[in-house]
Amino acid sequence: MTISNQTWRHKLYWLVLLSVVIRGFLAASLELGNDEVYYRLYALYPDWSHFDHPLMVGLVMQLFSFDLFFDSELFIRMSSVILGALNLFIVFDIGKKLKNSRTGFFAALLYTASIYSFVVTGIFILPDTPQQFFWLLSLRLMIIILPSCPNKKINGINMLWLGVLIGLGIISKYTSVFLWLGAGIYILLFNREWLKKKWLYLAVLLTFVISLPILIWNIKNDFISFTFQTERVGVAGYALNINYLLTELFGELLYNNPINYILIIISLFMLFKGKIGIEKSHIRIILFTSLPLILLFIGFSFFRATLPHWTAPGITSLIFIVAVWMDNISEKKGGLTTPWPLKLSVLLLSIILMIGYAQINYGVIKIDSTTDYNKLGSGDPSLDLYGYEQIGNEFALIVERDRNNGSMKNNTFMCGNNWFPLANLDYYAASPIGMKSYGIGNLDRTHKYAWINEINGGFELGMDAYYITDSREFHEPYEYFSDYFETIETADTIQIYRGGEIEKRAFVFRLKNLKEIPKNTLIKK
**Per-residue model confidence as pLDDT tens digits over 357-370:** 999 999 999 988 88
108 and 217 share one domain: yes
Which has the closest alpha carbon to 85: 132, 30, 39, 138? 132
How many domains are there within the chain? 2
61 and 209 share one domain: yes
136 and 61 share one domain: yes
Are 253 and 352 within 8 A, CB to CB? no
Q: Kindly indicate the confidence band of residue 524, based on its pLDDT and cuts at 50, 70 and 90.
A: very low
* 106: number of Cβ within 10 Å: 30
Cα(131)–Cα(108) distance, integer angstroms: 18
Please give the residue range of the domain that contains residue 482. 373-514
pLDDT at 522: 43
Does a structural domain hold residue 16? yes
Supply the mean pLDDT for the chain: 94
40 and 175 share one domain: yes
300 and 433 share one domain: no
Q: Kindly indicate the confidence band of residue 115, based on its pLDDT and cuts at 50, 70 and 90.
A: very high
Which has the closest alpha carbon to 215: 223, 207, 205? 223
Cα(394)–Cα(325) distance, integer angstroms: 55
Are 409 and 372 within 8 A, CB to CB? no
378 and 348 share one domain: no
Does a structural domain hold residue 443? yes
pLDDT tens by residue, 199-240: 999 999 999 999 999 999 999 998 888 888 777 666 666 788
70 and 198 share one domain: yes
104 and 242 share one domain: yes
pLDDT tens by residue, 437-459: 999 999 989 999 999 999 999 99
- pLDDT at residue 179 above 70? yes
Instruction: Find how far residue 263's CA is from the centre of its chain.
Output: 24
Enumerate residues 6+ apart whose C-beta is below 8 A from 404.
none
> In the chain, pLDDT over 70 holds for what percent of residues?
97
- pLDDT at residue 1 above 50? no
Measured CA to CA in angstroms, residue 479 lies from 94, 200, 473, 483 at distances of 55, 56, 15, 8
Prediction pTM value: 0.94
Does a structural domain hold residue 524? no
411 and 345 share one domain: no
* 264: number of Cβ within 10 Å: 23
Does a structural domain hold residue 366? no
Cα(41)–Cα(122) distance, integer angstroms: 20
Q: Kindly indicate the confidence band of residue 466, based on its pLDDT and cuts at 50, 70 and 90.
A: very high
447 and 304 share one domain: no
Question: Which of 301, 325, 355 is a domain's end point?
Answer: 355
Q: What angle do CA 446, 470, 380 make, to 5 degrees?
A: 105
Does a structural domain hold residue 276? yes
348 and 418 share one domain: no
Does a structural domain hold residue 120? yes
Are 77 and 26 within 8 A, CB to CB? no
93 and 205 share one domain: yes
Does a structural domain hold residue 67? yes
Does a structural domain hold residue 56? yes
pLDDT tens by residue, 374-412: 999 999 999 999 999 999 999 999 999 999 999 998 889
Cα(417)–Cα(489) distance, integer angstroms: 17
DSSP helix/strand/coil, 116: helix
Show the 3-state SS of 345-411.
HHHHHHHHHHHHHHHHHHCCCCCCCCCCHHHCCCCCHHHHHCCHHHHHHHHHHHHHHHHHCCCCCCC
